[in-house]
Amino acid sequence: MSVGTRSAQDVSAACAGGAAELGIDPDQLPDGLVVADEQGRVICFNAAAARITALPAEDALGQRLEKALPLEDLEGRRWWQLTDPYGGLAIRRRQPERNLLLPGGREVLVSAQYVRTRPTGPVHRVVVALRDTEARRRTERSHAELIATVAHELRSPLTSVKGFTATLLAKWERFTDDQKRLMLETVDADADRVTRLIAELLDISRIDSGRLEVRRQPVDIGAAVGRHIQAYVAAGLAADRFLLRLEQPLPALWADPDKIDQVLSNLLENAVRHGEGTVTIDITPTESPREGEDTGTSVTVSDEGPGIPEESMNRVFTRFWRGSKRGGTGLGLYIVKGIVEAHGGTITVGRAPQGGAEFRFTLPVSAPAYLT
């Protein structure tokens, strides 16, 4: 209807046309792209720019750059005045990425490129890239949360260690041997807790950075589960708390025995601590959907306890999630999943036929090529 709108459409078409020569649709770019001509008027404002600035492209096109993008730095200074792309030093070619503010305090990461037709000639185009800071803020927030949680988890055992040692040092004579032993046992257990927590955090950092090493060798998974059960029975649990069912023959399994032990120990400990009744372990070969392909081994650990509520199932493998008061640090299943995936396997959670929780992980054979 108005002249302004028509000219905006024209320039928009020009922007798309220029990009089309390169086979690119600016609206498909994940980052905001804003281009201004030699007079500082916006000739391109892609879909991501419109989303990030909450300004429709039709309103931005044909406008002056400083009106379409009224950016301010964190001290409240107007960025276009400060950087003066058209009047500044004729050798300047770019502005490095900066964190700037849009009206309403919206944060945005901005960088700009000045295009000149001759090396020190006038600016022909200003190309501005805009990036949303939401993704960056989200990672920063999750790091901050992780640090806060870790600090909190470390503080409670250390507070207890400090409390008991200080009391013993100050009033050594006033306690009986039994009382001293009890306090030292608590200190010992708390020190173990800190050590374990630190080992878990190191595992997590390896998993998160993809540095978890898997040293493969043949693993007899049935025997490994048997050893864990024996350890529980030796520690006083009734032998009939466990039911191990092995389906034979199993394909050879090449895996890291220490890490598989860690997986089994976490799953069995969870079943005993958070579950109830008989803990059933089923070990079966997995059929490959395609013939002639590697098969694998599946291990299912199920119990007869309360199970995991349906709505929490997708959260059990996240760090620090714990469902009940009896929970530990909530890192166990996160590490289990990391280890299984480092082996190229998968893990799922569901409801056991007896009503409790059921964890099932599958490991591919992964034998060295010369053996397959």
Ligand X SMILES: Nc1ncnc2c1ncn2[C@@H]1O[C@H](COP(=O)(O)OP(=O)(O)OP(=O)(O)O)[C@@H](O)[C@H]1O
Closest contact distance (angstroms) between CB of 272 and ligand X is 8
Structure tokens, 41 = 């008027």
For residue 271, the partner it binds in Mg ion, ligand X, none, with Cβ less than 5 to 8 A by kind, is ligand X
| Count, residues in the chain | 372
Residue 178 DSSP symbol: H
* Residue ranges binding ligand X (CB under 6 A): 266, 270-271, 274-275, 303, 305-308, 316, 321-324, 327-334, 357
Q: Is 287 helix (H, G, I), strand (E, B) or coil?
A: coil
- Residues 69 and 34: beta-carbon distance below 8 Å: yes
- Cα angle 367, 266, 149 (rounded to 5 degrees) comes to 120
Write the binding mask 261 to 290 for Mg ion: x where contact by CB under 5 A, - elsewhere: ---------x--------------------
- 139/324 with CB nearer ligand X: 324
Amino acid at 55: L
- 16/197 with CB nearer ligand X: 197
Closest contact distance (angstroms) between CB of 306 and ligand X is 6
For residue 305, the partner it binds in ligand X, Mg ion, none, with Cβ less than 5 to 8 A by kind, is ligand X
Structure tokens, 221 = 């998974």
- Residues 135 and 107: beta-carbon distance below 8 Å: no
Q: Which residue is nearest to Mg ion (CB)?
A: 332
- 70/323 with CB nearer ligand X: 323
For residue 358, the partner it binds in Mg ion, ligand X, none, with Cβ less than 5 to 8 A by kind, is none
Closest contact distance (angstroms) between CB of 311 and ligand X is 13
- Cα angle 92, 95, 97 (rounded to 5 degrees) comes to 160
Closest contact distance (angstroms) between CB of 264 and ligand X is 13
Write the binding mask 313 to 342 for Mg ion: x where contact by CB under 5 A, - elsewhere: -------------------x----------
Tell me the number of residues near Mg ion by CB under 5 A.
2
- Show Cβ contacts of residue 163 under 8 Å, excluding neighbours closer than 6 positions: none
Closest contact distance (angstroms) between CB of 266 and Mg ion is 5
- Show Cβ contacts of residue 198 under 8 Å, excluding neighbours closer than 6 positions: none
Sign of the C-alpha dihedral computed for residues 334, 340, 345 and 346 taken in this order: negative
Binding interface with Mg ion (CB under 5 A): 270, 332
